[in-house]
Amino acid sequence: MADTNSNLAAALKHLDKNFDDFKRTLIELSRIPSISAEGFPAEEVRRSAEAMAGVLRSIGIENVQVLEIPGVHPYVYGDWLRRPGAPTILLYGHHDVQPAGRPEKWKSPAFEPVERGGRLYGRGTADDKGGCMAHIAAVASYLQSGGELPCNVKFVIEGEEEIGSENLGKFLAKYKSMLAADYIVLSDTSNFDTGIPALTYQLRGICQVDVEVEVLDHPVHSGMWGGPVPDPVQVLSALIADLRRKDGSLDIPGLYKDVAKTGKKQLQRIRKLPFDEKKFKKEGGLLKGVKLWGEKGYSVYEQLWTRPSLTVIAMESHPIQGSSNQIVDSARARLSLRTVPDMDGAKAGAQLVKKLTKNPPHGVKVTAKVNGTTPWWTTDPDGPAFDAARRALKAGFGKETAMIGAGGSIGFVQPFADLLGGAPCLLMGVEDPLCNAHSENESLHLGDLMKCMKSAVHLYDELSRVPLPRRR
């Protein structure tokens, strides 16, 4: 068996030499519009899965399969299990992407990746095809330079993460025997800043609620009826506005009874992180003069990582184009409620539905329903596996690792941690605050991509030397 230090050095050398080839592979994968949302071609998600499977085969991954469940966007699986006695790492990513959004807002077409100013622009370049490529490149660098890895690996690349992993239960029920591992490494999170790595140890959950206000059995002339007849759009807007108190907290009875108090150790981690409000607002794209409006008494990071929040992610009545002077018959909205430890998503959704539908104003008809939930997740980021990950990230980035939470949700994490008996979950991704994930002009910082690839090379080496964890 080859010396591990020489294997590590050879893998890093191969990575340096072949980075442009890995970048070209990412560009080809990102050309495929693998949008998993309803209303977009499912065959493109399938084409993406087949392309990802082809890439895994090309680098020497074995047992590559496109995993099928009827009516579900395909997953991709592959493994390399030639190191008996060594730990097994389950590498998770997703190949589906968000819809492109507004074409006129893109500086270049969403599915024609373009390099500008050291960044690769295109849908999926960061979230999460770039994350997948970080590990594909690291594994390829070991296998193509020395013929072996320091540990065993399994790839699971999901096809419906962007729609909430709604069929994850079916997937686990059918394929759980294939997924045994000692560590889970996820590629779908952000670093603290460009050039500064991070490990994410807490994720918010999500509950989606649809609400509709109905007033009329058909639209009517706004001049002949406007004034005495309620406008459903204004009623809906008032119902949504009533969900937020002046102090920024949510006015949903009973909601905060289940919100966990942030522990002293976590508060210390959060409060030691630097925060620059001007930089934060610029990276978020806030227009000049716009002020932050969060929950009073909590820092920005506390709000993002440890407190519930509510966003209106869609609103419908009648499009501006083709509109006329009329009161529309109904209006609808989709609300996204972010949940935190110890909240139950379904219960929180029911509380929101009750608030929206209780005592409808002016006797209008208000209906609301929970349209899906994803659980929050948290872990204690101490112990040998996290120490190994911090060392690997420092080796790849040349900077100390920030320990952070995330405001977003990844439905995969908690069910897989449970399935594997509490296997440590290491969340280390390629995104940075400027990546515009889920928005127009999504991009990936190519310098950080290289650092993430190097970190992954070091991670496999580091974890191969950690005593295997005891699991419940």
| Residue 158 and residue 187 in contact, taking contact as beta carbons nearer than 8 Å | no
pLDDT (average), residues 326-333: 97
pLDDT (average), residues 302-331: 96
- Using alpha carbons, list the distances in angstroms from residue 234 to 245, 337, 361, 362: 19, 21, 11, 12
Instruction: Evaluate if residue 450 carries a pLDDT over 90.
Output: yes
Instruction: Evaluate if residue 100 carries a pLDDT over 50.
Output: yes
Instruction: Evaluate if residue 472 carries a pLDDT over 60.
Output: no
Mean pLDDT of the chain: 95
Instruction: Evaluate if residue 4 carries a pLDDT over 90.
Output: no
Query: Which segment of 51-55, 122-126, 174-178, 341-345 scores lowest on mean pLDDT?
Result: 174-178
The pLDDT score that the predictor gives to residue 415 is: 86
pLDDT (average), residues 410-427: 88
H or E stretch at 453: helix 446-464
Question: Can you say whether the dihedral through the CA atoms of 140, 384, 189, 342 is positive or negative?
Answer: positive
Q: How confident is the model at residue 469 (pLDDT cuts 50, 70, 90)?
A: low
- Using alpha carbons, list the distances in angstroms from residue 266 to 301, 340, 367, 386, 405: 11, 14, 39, 15, 10
Instruction: Evaluate if residue 2 carries a pLDDT over 90.
Output: no
pLDDT (average), residues 235-249: 97
Query: Which segment of 11-20, 274-283, 413-422 scores lowest on mean pLDDT?
Result: 413-422
Q: How confident is the model at residue 420 (pLDDT cuts 50, 70, 90)?
A: confident
Instruction: Evaluate if residue 141 carries a pLDDT over 60.
Output: yes
Instruction: Evaluate if residue 105 carries a pLDDT over 60.
Output: yes
| Residue 105 and residue 441 in contact, taking contact as beta carbons nearer than 8 Å | yes
- Give the span between the Cα atoms of 101 and 469, in whole angstroms: 43
Query: Which segment of 123-132, 214-223, 420-429 scores lowest on mean pLDDT?
Result: 420-429
The pLDDT score that the predictor gives to residue 421 is: 86
Give the rounded percent of residues in the chain with a pLDDT score beyond 90. 90
pLDDT (average), residues 318-334: 95
Q: How confident is the model at residue 248 (pLDDT cuts 50, 70, 90)?
A: very high
H or E stretch at 77: strand 75-80
Instruction: Evaluate if residue 23 carries a pLDDT over 90.
Output: yes
Question: Can you say whether the dihedral through the CA atoms of 263, 266, 271, 275 is positive or negative?
Answer: negative
Q: How confident is the model at residue 412 (pLDDT cuts 50, 70, 90)?
A: confident
Paired tokens of 241: 């506005």
- Give the span between the Cα atoms of 154 and 177, in whole angstroms: 12
- Give the span between the Cα atoms of 329 and 341, in whole angstroms: 39
Instruction: Evaluate if residue 284 carries a pLDDT over 70.
Output: yes
Ordered alpha helix ranges (H), 31-128: 42-58
Q: In what order do the strands lie in the sheet with 205-214?
A: 309-316, 330-339, 205-214, 365-374
- Give the span between the Cα atoms of 201 and 425, in whole angstroms: 8
The pLDDT score that the predictor gives to residue 1 is: 43
Nearest partner of 333 among 424, 241, 407, judged by Cα: 241
Instruction: Evaluate if residue 375 carries a pLDDT over 60.
Output: yes
- Give the span between the Cα atoms of 149 and 169, in whole angstroms: 31
pLDDT (average), residues 49-55: 98
Instruction: Evaluate if residue 333 carries a pLDDT over 50.
Output: yes
Instruction: Evaluate if residue 471 carries a pLDDT over 60.
Output: no
Compare 421 and 78 and report the one with higher pLDDT. Answer: 78
- Give the span between the Cα atoms of 80 and 87, in whole angstroms: 12
Q: How confident is the model at residue 133 (pLDDT cuts 50, 70, 90)?
A: very high
Q: How confident is the model at residue 168 (pLDDT cuts 50, 70, 90)?
A: confident
- Give the span between the Cα atoms of 129 and 144, in whole angstroms: 21
DSSP output for 267-287: HHHHHTS---HHHHHHHHTPP
